[in-house]
Amino acid sequence: MTTHFIGVDIGGTNIVCGLLDERLNLLRKTKKPTGAANGADYVLNLIASMIDELLAREQLTRTDLGAVGMGNPGFIDPVRGISLSSANLKWENVPVSEKLGALLGGIPVFIDNDVRMYTYGEAAAGAGRGYDHVMGITLGTGIAAAMINNGQLYYGSGFLAGELGHVPLDGESALCGCGMRGCLETIASATGIARIAREKLERGESSILAEWFPGERRNEITAADISRAYDEGDALAKEVLQFVGRHLAKGLAWAITLWSPDVIVIGGGAANAGERLLAPMRETLMPLILPMYRNRIVIKLAEMNDDAGVVGSAAFAKTRVSA
């Protein structure tokens, strides 16, 4: 009998559950709408049923499971297994590990926040594999970061370290979801990129985006559309990604200097811009960091995308039960 592991990636929209074998090969995945409006108990029951279904499909039972790992949006106490606060799920102090563990008949459940699980996955099996000091950053609806040293996640006081998206930048003033103004999240997130392009169009700057999204349709513009315009040689799109890259570099300069990662793995929707974003980012970054960092830092795009959270959660849980 071999032990298997479950990784769960829960977001405001969808839940993805994955079943992995002992060597952390992803055998099977399933995805369902979160239905967060139905409350935490509904969601946790749904996850338990998704897990049972995955097991049944592979002709396994709960006794074949070593542990369950779960990446959650918001603030988590990974030691007590509690979701302290999640704006996306509308959860406050939900004892996730205890409740889901009970629903699964006592299987150990380990949780952490989503960017930590994502980074854990990329470090274990993706772009961070083989490095001792891995920083992960997701540029999605928001921005978050995590740091892993020799397999250990960095937490700090209250497990609150890594909110790279939430330091106001000089000269910037867009209102951030956190209530402050000019945070990196207002600029280098997928939503930030779209906002900046939209504001340029509103000021009457010319761009192929104005043809693609006439009038009110400009509100439909996404970060992906800006990459598409960039590839058409659009000057506005190029300016947007240069502006975003320069600001991302300012945050990364502090992260490199304080954390000293070997590698930075960049994921999330906005990372699909790839070198269109990373090239101007590097150009600004290098003069902002000491030569000793400049000479060693590797900056890569994430490799696992949708699977990083699931695999990372399972790998995290495996480490916990093996410890």
Q: What residues make contact with a second copy under the rule CB under 8 A?
A: 75, 132-133, 145, 147, 149, 154-164, 166-168, 170-171, 178-180, 250-251, 253-255, 257-262, 287-293, 296
CA–CA gap between residue 88 and residue 111 (Å, rounded)? 16
CB of 227 to a second copy, least distance (A): 28
CB of 138 to a second copy, least distance (A): 15
Cβ–Cβ < 8 Å for 308, 121:
yes
Nearer to a second copy, 5 or 118 (CB): 118
Nearer to a second copy, 50 or 164 (CB): 164
Nearer to a second copy, 3 or 85 (CB): 85
Nearer to a second copy, 259 or 316 (CB): 259
Nearer to a second copy, 215 or 291 (CB): 291
CB of 84 to a second copy, least distance (A): 10
CB of 143 to a second copy, least distance (A): 11
CB of 256 to a second copy, least distance (A): 9
Nearer to a second copy, 164 or 266 (CB): 164
CB of 161 to a second copy, least distance (A): 4
